[in-house]
């Protein structure tokens, strides 16, 4: 998972670690491993140059795990302009990714572990299987090639991803024509307006890893959970569940995604801690919907965040249902308060 070493004081960081969006390079949160698979990076050498938008997208997802590199980047959003230093290394099949902000509030974000970005799509062991799993995106997005360009002194292919409904954001991607690594992303809101631009300004020494990348996976059965959302955008499924690594124990987290967009859902028992104000709050390019409600006979705080329309996040927060049992977070909270 992404770990935040220093905080920038944004709302919701009281609860959440790493509330920063690093498109393309930032993976969805890793799961705790109950099984291990390997992604065969060497198979990328055997692939022909993609000829369709879908094939470029698949190759980009694969390349983001299998190339080690260093890079400089800039992020332009509603909160201003930030510059970053990025690195992605692979050692003995385990990825380590670091993003370091070079201006503004100091912050370093680090992710270690398996190929978590693929985790929501099932057990891919080859680019072909990844492609089969990725094709479900065509139910929710229209992908098309939109020409070529030059980004960071490199030849790039432009890919446009248009949502087919108003429940998710669109994207314009520029992929390195040699490696398929993402060089630039423009995130578009439900009205087609650019809300964030993330661009690599220098990509240094990309190297294809020739071994297998550890892929962590686990079985997540929503029916066994004490609470769950009564509504999700079409195509969103549970990817990971566990206890959030936040500044306070007892926060239970779940991550849902459609294969491209994700939302994070946090629920905690209210027990005297400082609470967030109910409503929808902006967190840079993301939003967070906060709700206070009685669930399972106890007051709880619900936070839903992600790069999705605010109305979608609010609807998910308002749909949380209690189905009995005791959640992991509730157990942790009760244990912590026991004499």
Q: 223 in helix, strand or coil?
A: helix
- Residues 108-126: pLDDT tens digits? 999 887 443 333 333 344 5
Do the beta carbons of residue 23 and residue 84 sit within 8 Å? no
List domains and CATH numbers for the chain: 20-215 (2.50.20.10), 220-337 (3.30.200.100)
- Residues 177-233: pLDDT tens digits? 999 999 999 999 988 999 999 999 999 999 999 999 876 544 445 555 789 999 999
pLDDT, residue 226, reads 84
pLDDT, residue 224, reads 55
Do the beta carbons of residue 31 and residue 242 sit within 8 Å? yes
Residue 335 has pLDDT above 50, yes or no: no
Q: 132 in helix, strand or coil?
A: helix
How many Å separate Cα 226 from the centre of its chain?
24
- Residues 20-60: pLDDT tens digits? 344 433 343 333 333 345 788 988 888 899 999 999 999 99
> Two tokens at 73?
């980047």
What residues pair up with 149 in beta bridges, in sequence order?
156
The pTM (predicted TM-score) of the whole model is 0.79
> Two tokens at 145?
């090639």
CB burial class (10 A; 0-12, 13-18, 19+) of residue 86? Answer: buried
> Two tokens at 183?
């060089």
Rg of the Cα trace of the chain? 20
- Residues 237-284: pLDDT tens digits? 998 665 554 445 678 889 999 989 999 999 999 988 889 999 999 887
């Amino acid at each position: 998972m992404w770990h935040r070493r220093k905080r920038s004081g944004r709302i919701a960081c009281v609860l959440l670690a790493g509330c920063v969006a690093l498109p393309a390079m930032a993976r969805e949160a890793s799961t705790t491993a109950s099984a291990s698979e390997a992604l065969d990076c060497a198979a990328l050498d055997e692939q022909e140059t993609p000829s369709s938008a879908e094939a470029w997208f698949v190759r980009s997802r694969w390349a983001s795990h299998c190339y080690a590199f260093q890079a400089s980047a800039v992020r332009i959003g509603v909160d201003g302009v930030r510059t970053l230093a990025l690195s992605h290394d692979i050692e003995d099949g385990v990825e380590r990714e670091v993003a370091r902000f070079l201006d503004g509030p100091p912050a370093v974000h680090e992710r270690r572990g398996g190929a978590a970005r693929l985790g929501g799509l099932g057990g891919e062991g080859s680019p072909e299987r990844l492609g089969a799993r990725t094709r479900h995106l065509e139910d929710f997005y229209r992908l098309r090639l939109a020409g070529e360009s030059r980004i960071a002194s490199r030849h790039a292919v432009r890919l446009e991803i248009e949502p087919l409904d108003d429940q998710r954001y669109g994207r314009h991607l520029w992929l390195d024509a040699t490696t398929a690594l993402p060089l630039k992303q423009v995130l578009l809101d439900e009205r087609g307006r650019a809300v964030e631009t993330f661009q690599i300004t220098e990509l240094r020494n990309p190297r294809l890893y020739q071994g297998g990348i550890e892929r962590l996976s686990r079985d997540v059965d929503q029916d066994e959970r004490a609470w769950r959302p009564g509504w999700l955008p079409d195509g969103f499924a549970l990817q990971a569940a566990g206890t959030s690594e936040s500044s306070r124990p007892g926060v239970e987290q779940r991550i849902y995604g459609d294969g491209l967009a994700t939302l994070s859902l946090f629920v905690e028992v209210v027990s005297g801690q400082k609470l967030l104000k109910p409503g929808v709050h902006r967190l840079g390019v993301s939003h967070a919907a906060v709700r206070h409600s009685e669930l399972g006979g106890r007051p709880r705080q619900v936070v839903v965040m992600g790069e999705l329309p605010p109305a979608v996040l609010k609807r998910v927060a308002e749909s949380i249902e209690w189905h009995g049992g005791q959640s992991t977070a509730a157990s942790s909270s009760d244990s912590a308060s026991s004499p």
